[in-house]
Chains A and B, each alone.
Chain A
């Protein structure tokens, strides 16, 4: 079989030291649908960025139609016939389909004017060529997501793409739209196109792909014909690698529930239900792990618990008291601490000092301030203690946060939250993007916090982290809790995988 793309020995290390691709080699055969699957952080996206010219690897080569290519930008990729459909679509919302289609390569009338008729014509032609049924004179914002995506695909085809990369294309689609998309992709294959399909969703991958590559931990695990793999095989390959870490010992005993989430649902501005009847309790000395692929409602759940977002339905109780309608400050005072997933967005004010970042939740309390006066002497001492205790690498407590490394910035956040008076800790992606040493450190801190009798809600896209720390695990998929595991030491990624990926669901999954 003819190979359209060969990737050989890619090594990509990001400036922060994270190895995203290591010795990655894969062949894409012409005229196939090739799925690439893997957990968050397995390296799929980086590989696609390399292929599409968004980023350049340190080592390795890419061959397109047998010729070695050296892409400097996506524009280069488009030139030679590689197209990409991003998860967040690259369309101008107030322009029509036809306008988006010709953007950058506009047909002219009389040398200066935009020939809109011609734009319509070519759009119509290319959509007919590929059997796409799309309204060409409607604005993008008035079209449903599924159609918008077809516009995006057509945009790539219009630019003569022969190899199409689709990054998580089904994330925002309804089941019906997914069916349409898959038929489209099969059609395209019949037209001689090659498709790389990146996904978490194994059912879909099995349904559509001819060949499947599984990635894990920045490396390729295997590439096989789809027919040779079952869904369970894939899930196992993705997450079922040997456990390379020691689980922390379970708590001696657990106390009464501190946080109780009851029947929480959330519907966003676009009328999409992102959380559906979510319920669970977390008890003293318990770490409840929330496993799940990112974007399944975790962010909204965290914001609702911490008062940054209002639930559409349901209620949350802290030590038996409802938090309905309370401000983030009051909720914090009731005993919640929060390590946010978006470190730079919510976790720190990076243009100011460590000291000021340490006190955002406590500056108004004694002894940080008296009546209205900030007691800087105390704050500085307090900050120095935190810097020492949490081993934060910084010149001084007055250093600006932005000059710290990612790992140390995270430690600033962790130090603040763990040093707050709390009984419940919401820890979202607590070790994302930080080095191994810091990660270990944060894990120990979480364990100590648990042993001090606190309740921890651990949300992480890193399955190893969940398995290592959790006393109990629940799995979220599509805004619903689909499984609960109490006997954590006995389970491994391969048990969780199918639930996280929507392949399986426990019948009575409740907290």
Chain B
């Protein structure tokens, strides 16, 4: 067995998958919930950035993880609210507005990084707190499984819980029902007196909520500092993930797992004599390929219908 294969089949690999999946999963849930309400949100990139930055700075200055968490969440939600305001109230194209907000987030975080940390690259001069790792008592002692599942950052478990939370919001609350109705047929929702724009705004705010966790994890779990543009396109990959996952909780989870695996693989094959550039581009290339394959499939399905109709005559 080759060393690479051996290391991929090791529990550490499973552990790594969950680790790199965490921010993707949060971002994907953010994309999914706004998509459920019928608006495409490509601003997750920006949402994660402002949350990551805010979390680091607030934790460094207050020394309180809870306050940092709250501040990070608020920052992400504010950015989402700005998207909602410009798109829903000022009728900006949601894609262009989101591109602008991503730029805004990137610019303002670098700007403030310099102000606070006197460095344009990272906040490593600040002493950021990190979210703790958790060892799960019983599972910890199970061989292999314990090594994969236990000892993660609390936010990794948070991501798994977020899937459940997403499920509950969407399928078990009146708001979720309304979000789904607005996404599927806004006229129908409006005809029973639902304020469509308000529901869309709520969905965007929740999108900010989930995304903010993703950002916090990146800066205060994955590493312990903020770095410029540290999201590295995860907010965009999340869109491909949700497309693949059909915006549903389990689908989004499985698709995130898939992309997490690809990312982890990329890290692992770095040990081979493969140029690191190739390794780095894998997640993005895979995203394009997945998107293409998915679209071809979806198109085929659509094209099959009329043929069947013809045969029926």
The chain A residues found within 8 Å of chain B, CB to CB, are: 74-75, 78, 86, 89-95, 99-100, 102-106, 108, 112-114, 116, 155, 159, 265, 267-271, 273, 312
The answer to whether B173 has its CB under 8 Å from any CB of chain A is yes
- Residue B178 contacts which of A93, A103, A159, A268 (CB distance < 8 angstroms)? A103
- Chain B positions within 8 Å of A100 at CB level: 181, 188
- Residue A269 contacts which of B191, B193, B306 (CB distance < 8 angstroms)? B306
Q: Do the beta carbons of A273 and B193 come within 8 Å of each other?
A: no
- Residue A93 contacts which of B173, B185, B305, B309 (CB distance < 8 angstroms)? B185
Please name the residue on chain B nearest to A79 by beta carbon: B193
The answer to whether B194 has its CB under 8 Å from any CB of chain A is yes
- Residues of chain B at interface, number, CB under 8 A: 26
A89 to B191, CA, bound (A): 10
The answer to whether B5 has its CB under 8 Å from any CB of chain A is no
- Residue A271 contacts which of B184, B185, B194, B312 (CB distance < 8 angstroms)? B312
Q: Do the beta carbons of B188 and A268 come within 8 Å of each other?
A: no
The answer to whether B115 has its CB under 8 Å from any CB of chain A is no
| Residues B151-185 near A (CB distance < 8 A) | 168, 171-174, 176-178, 180-181, 184-185
- Chain B positions within 8 Å of A90 at CB level: 185, 187-188, 191-192
In the assembled complex, how far is the CB of residue B299 from the closest CB belonging to chain A, in whole angstroms?
A: 13
Which 6 residue pairs are nearest across A and B when measured between Cβ atoms? A104-B192, A106-B174, A271-B309, A92-B184, A90-B188, A90-B191
A270 to B306, CA, bound (A): 8
Q: Do the beta carbons of A108 and B189 come within 8 Å of each other?
A: no
Contacts A/B (CB < 8 Å), 18 sampled = A74-B191, A74-B193, A75-B193, A78-B193, A90-B185, A90-B191, A92-B180, A92-B181, A92-B189, A93-B185, A94-B184, A103-B177, A104-B178, A104-B192, A105-B192, A112-B173, A268-B309, A269-B306
Q: Do the beta carbons of A103 and B189 come within 8 Å of each other?
A: yes
- Chain B positions within 8 Å of A104 at CB level: 178, 189, 192-194
In the assembled complex, how far is the CB of residue A89 from the closest CB belonging to chain B, in whole angstroms?
A: 8
A268 to B24, CA, bound (A): 40
A74 to B191, CA, bound (A): 7
- Chain A positions within 8 Å of B184 at CB level: 92-95
The answer to whether B272 has its CB under 8 Å from any CB of chain A is no
Would A269 and B305 be within 8 Å (CB), given that A90-B185, A90-B187, A114-B177 are in contact?
A: yes
Q: Do the beta carbons of B185 and A267 come within 8 Å of each other?
A: no
- Chain B positions within 8 Å of A273 at CB level: 313
Q: Do the beta carbons of B177 and A99 come within 8 Å of each other?
A: yes
The answer to whether B91 has its CB under 8 Å from any CB of chain A is no
Q: Do the beta carbons of B173 and A91 come within 8 Å of each other?
A: no
In the assembled complex, how far is the CB of residue A398 from the closest CB belonging to chain B, in whole angstroms?
A: 26
Q: Do the beta carbons of B177 and A312 come within 8 Å of each other?
A: no
The chain B residues found within 8 Å of chain A, CB to CB, are: 168, 171-174, 176-178, 180-181, 184-185, 187-189, 191-194, 305-306, 308-310, 312-313
Q: How many A-B residue pairs have CB under 8 A?
A: 80
A74 to B184, CA, bound (A): 20
A114 to B184, CA, bound (A): 19
- Residue A91 contacts which of B174, B185, B312, B313 (CB distance < 8 angstroms)? B185
Would A114 and B173 be within 8 Å (CB), given that A78-B193, A92-B180, A269-B309 are in contact?
A: yes
- Chain B positions within 8 Å of A265 at CB level: 313
In the assembled complex, how far is the CB of residue B226 from the closest CB belonging to chain A, in whole angstroms?
A: 35
11 extra A-B contacts, CB within 8 A, seeds A103-B178, A265-B313: A74-B191, A89-B188, A90-B192, A99-B177, A100-B181, A100-B188, A108-B174, A155-B192, A267-B306, A269-B309, A312-B310
In the assembled complex, how far is the CB of residue B311 from the closest CB belonging to chain A, in whole angstroms?
A: 10
- Residue B172 contacts which of A92, A113, A267, A312 (CB distance < 8 angstroms)? A113
Please name the residue on chain A nearest to B312 by beta carbon: A271
Q: Do the beta carbons of B174 and A267 come within 8 Å of each other?
A: no
- Residue A312 contacts which of B176, B192, B308, B313 (CB distance < 8 angstroms)? B313
In the assembled complex, how far is the CB of residue A34 from the closest CB belonging to chain B, in whole angstroms?
A: 22
Most buried by A among B168, B187, B192: B192
Q: Do the beta carbons of B185 and A103 come within 8 Å of each other?
A: no
A114 to B313, CA, bound (A): 45
- Residue B309 contacts which of A106, A112, A267 (CB distance < 8 angstroms)? A267
A86 to B193, CA, bound (A): 15
A78 to B309, CA, bound (A): 40
A31 to B273, CA, bound (A): 84
In the assembled complex, how far is the CB of residue A466 from the closest CB belonging to chain B, in whole angstroms?
A: 31
Would A106 and B177 be within 8 Å (CB), given that A268-B309, A312-B313 are in contact?
A: yes
A75 to B312, CA, bound (A): 43
A238 to B308, CA, bound (A): 41
- Chain A positions within 8 Å of B181 at CB level: 92, 95, 99-100, 103
A106 to B176, CA, bound (A): 11
Please name the residue on chain B nearest to A155 by beta carbon: B192
Most buried by A among B168, B171, B176, B185: B185
A104 to B212, CA, bound (A): 29
A106 to B194, CA, bound (A): 12
A99 to B179, CA, bound (A): 12
A331 to B197, CA, bound (A): 44
In the assembled complex, how far is the CB of residue B216 from the closest CB belonging to chain A, in whole angstroms?
A: 25
- Residue A103 contacts which of B187, B194, B306 (CB distance < 8 angstroms)? B194
Q: Do the beta carbons of B174 and A92 come within 8 Å of each other?
A: no
Q: Do the beta carbons of A95 and B180 come within 8 Å of each other?
A: yes
Most buried by A among B171, B173, B177, B194: B177
- Chain A positions within 8 Å of B309 at CB level: 267-271
- Chain B positions within 8 Å of A89 at CB level: 188
In the assembled complex, how far is the CB of residue B278 from the closest CB belonging to chain A, in whole angstroms?
A: 41
A318 to B257, CA, bound (A): 58
